[in-house]
Amino acid sequence: MIGKDSRKGAWKLARETVEVPITGKIISVDVKVGDAVKEGDVICVLESMKMENPMLAPVDGTVVEVKVAADQVVKPGDVIAVIEY
């Protein structure tokens, strides 16, 4: 939900979950919690079928969770990171 929460007077931010599209192995993680990212920034690099595939930030925002580590094997649907915007 985006907008002002009238009960508390606080603003709520939206979150975007970045998920793994293909089975592979994470070879590098390029962000950490608290990092500001722009749409298109590399979140991590996924190796699949001997090809390196950069996983990109879908939105501008702040990384609030990182769910993968280097050398981790992942499958489609696994969460890479969560970005708040």
Cβ contacts of 56 within 8 Å, gap of 6 or more: 39, 40, 41, 42, 43
Domains located in the chain, CATH noted: 15-84 (2.40.50.100)
pLDDT of residue 4 exceeding 70, the answer is no
Distance (Å) of CA 30 to CA 1, 2, 14: 28, 27, 22
Do residues 32 and 70 lie in contact, with contact meaning Cβ atoms separated by under 8 Å? Answer: no
Alpha carbon distance 7, 48 (integer Å): 47
- Distance in angstroms between the alpha carbons of the first and the last residue of the chain: 11
48-69, pLDDT tens digit by residue? Answer: 999 999 999 999 999 999 999 9
Do residues 68 and 15 lie in contact, with contact meaning Cβ atoms separated by under 8 Å? Answer: no
% of residues, the chain, pLDDT over 90: 85
Alpha carbon distance 16, 60 (integer Å): 10
5-60, pLDDT tens digit by residue? Answer: 555 667 778 999 999 999 999 999 999 999 999 999 999 999 999 999 999 999 99
